[in-house]
Structure 1
């Protein structure tokens, strides 16, 4: 099947006719080719204990049609203690290129429990690998570090935006080789508890401004996004509110943004790349979820009727879909409108 447009929320197949498995992912542009990489969930049915099957990558020259380039970071099946074992909760790979060391550097979030999350760092000579682990069990700044994004400035300095688990957002400077933090950091968006704590941070830069798109902390169930803007890497960031226009469901169009892609050759086209993790659970109500958290953190858990939440969803993320939508700007403000279908030709 050949695609000529984006159809957000519909199943997206690769050039072999199989579902694209690049969840929680990002797109990297190298020498005229786009590389879309992310969590490989092809064996994850929500029942078998397999959280991931490595990191998979696809290539494209038109952003519509994607060729499977294989698994670039393999699962380590024989070592149950490895952060890359299929049962390990490995999420949100992010890859940046270090011009000085000529290395591609990949960071992975590893969930070791509700409140304990660490990072695994790998390097490679090519975007498609092979990747070698250089750090495992990393606690940046001594913190439990959750969802994140990596970004490189024009001068080669790199930054790491992450959720200090269930607390606040941190912007930390990376070391010259991008495999650790220097110790310098700033704090942003302190919140009292989930679901208001920000996660899934996605950074992009436009017209001298730094933007952060974030979601709340409700697991795979979606919630309202938030956009913030600043003049510098470390802020201060001014929250602009929910960018999803007309989203009455308060679920970011039933999706969670993982990254923002600036399209090469287009004057002002930025794509918010999002996952629809649970396409069979679009009936769920975010407001009920938020009320539950409020009562729990007030010590009033017994006041909430948990039957209102319904049955726990089966997290069959192998069938997760993608919601790619262009970001619309009015001055500095960023908005995301729903589109059933759209093309690159609509933009200069």
Structure 2
């Protein structure tokens, strides 16, 4: 019996050792330490005291899984390849509780940052109130004393209430004649959007906030970047020192550009932003932008994806740019392959983000490792 027990243990250990990943396999099933496919969609990641923490939407099977039935799932890792299940970091409130975050609400793209002043972990996410579709367009915050949670719900916001964006022209503060009757997607309508059509509409209640990410700059200032104005314009809004509210300072990015799924990083003193177009659950070609200040102006660059399936960003949509600890200017492009009919089956595309001058570049790889960042950056292609 003892020999048989020892054999079972040895076989189990051997199996575990064989299961340890040493590379990323984009698009393939990604089992956690329990052998279950990671359940962290629209994810963000945090590096804290030698460990990475992954936070994402916990999905269930069937169309009902597109709403929040459980909450935000957390995993941890030391190497980014192998993930340990840390359970539900933020649980939705019970059905019928009347909470803004009760079961059945829409809770998307959770991002967690650490606040050095308060010593708290702060989670932000896009929130849609139960039964209201995507009409609420709010961004919400929760806090915890531990990275793995549990996170306590604080409140939700419509940012920018009663505040004009930076550099907003005085003549744009009043509606232009006939703007209410403009036909959508015409050049005149796009001009009206650029000149504040929806900013004015939402001035008092606050601006819409859907797909979002959080960025902490080198000076400790944090920013919430989100799709606003019916997903037509991205907004960047400065957070308070405790990262739990807004200072009222904000600006627009690519007005009328129809961007969502923002993901941002900083390299060489410049800010790089990757987004997607707005085509529902269907993938599309990614966009990229660069700026010398987070407040802009932002210059639009090319589609960062290259090669086959670049026009669909390899059948995925951006969610986060993860800095790799200990490697200078090394960022992982994190993206989702959505499966709305059965959300729990959604897959993950993680690829190394490289740069050709100011242009971020993505290239498909069936298999890759962090050693890819040890290779020199590709040279910028100079047009003749």
Structure 1 residue 96 displacement after superposition: 1.3
1:102 and 1:12 map into 2 onto residues whose CA distance is 32
Number of the residue aligned with 2:56: 38
Among 238, 242, 260, the alignment partner of 1:173 is 238
Label 1:190 to 1:48 Cα distance change in 2 as closer, same or farther (>3 A).
closer
1:80 and 1:144 map into 2 onto residues whose CA distance is 25
Structure 1 residue 145 displacement after superposition: 0.7
Number of the residue aligned with 1:151: 215
Structure 1 residue 52 displacement after superposition: 3.8
Q: Is 158-167 or 65-74 further displaced after alignment? A: 158-167
Label 1:234 to 1:7 Cα distance change in 2 as closer, same or farther (>3 A).
same
Q: Deviations over 1:142-161 (max 9, x none)?
A: 01111111111222211111
Structure 1 residue 47 displacement after superposition: 4.6
Higher helix share: 2
Number of the residue aligned with 1:290: none
TM-score of the two chains, using structure 1 as the length reference: 0.84
Q: What is the SS of the residue equivalent to 1:222?
A: coil
Number of the residue aligned with 1:265: 326
Higher strand share: 1
Q: What is the SS of the residue equivalent to 1:150?
A: strand
1:49 and 1:337 map into 2 onto residues whose CA distance is 30
Label 1:160 to 1:245 Cα distance change in 2 as closer, same or farther (>3 A).
same
TM-score of the two chains, using structure 2 as the length reference: 0.76
Q: CA RMSD in A?
A: 1.7
Q: Is 1:126 the counterpart of 2:156 in the alignment?
A: no
Contact kept? 1:44, 1:52, Cα under 8 Å: no
Structure 1 residue 334 displacement after superposition: 0.7
Q: Which has the larger radius of gyration?
A: 2
Structure 1 residue 44 displacement after superposition: 3.7
Label 1:132 to 1:230 Cα distance change in 2 as closer, same or farther (>3 A).
same
Q: Deviations over 1:90-146 (max 9, x none)?
A: 10111111111111111121124344311221111111112111113x211101111
Q: Is 1:10 the counterpart of 2:75 in the alignment?
A: no
1:247 and 1:199 map into 2 onto residues whose CA distance is 23
2:151 and 2:217 map into 1 onto residues whose CA distance is 23
Structure 1 unaligned blocks of 5 or more: 279-313
Q: Deviations over 1:40-95 (max 9, x none)?
A: 11x24215775442101111111100000000101222335333323111101111
2:246 and 2:213 map into 1 onto residues whose CA distance is 13
Label 1:36 to 1:206 Cα distance change in 2 as closer, same or farther (>3 A).
same
Q: What is the SS of the residue equivalent to 2:263?
A: strand
Among 326, 338, 342, the alignment partner of 2:352 is 326
1:340 and 1:318 map into 2 onto residues whose CA distance is 22
Structure 2 unaligned blocks of 5 or more: 1-18, 161-205, 375-384
1:79 and 1:152 map into 2 onto residues whose CA distance is 36
Number of the residue aligned with 2:165: none
Number of the residue aligned with 2:80: 63
Q: Deviations over 1:236-272 (max 9, x none)?
A: 1101121010244621100011000111122332110
Q: Is 1:102 the counterpart of 2:166 in the alignment?
A: no
1:47 and 1:133 map into 2 onto residues whose CA distance is 23
Among 113, 129, 135, the alignment partner of 2:155 is 135
1:155 and 1:103 map into 2 onto residues whose CA distance is 17
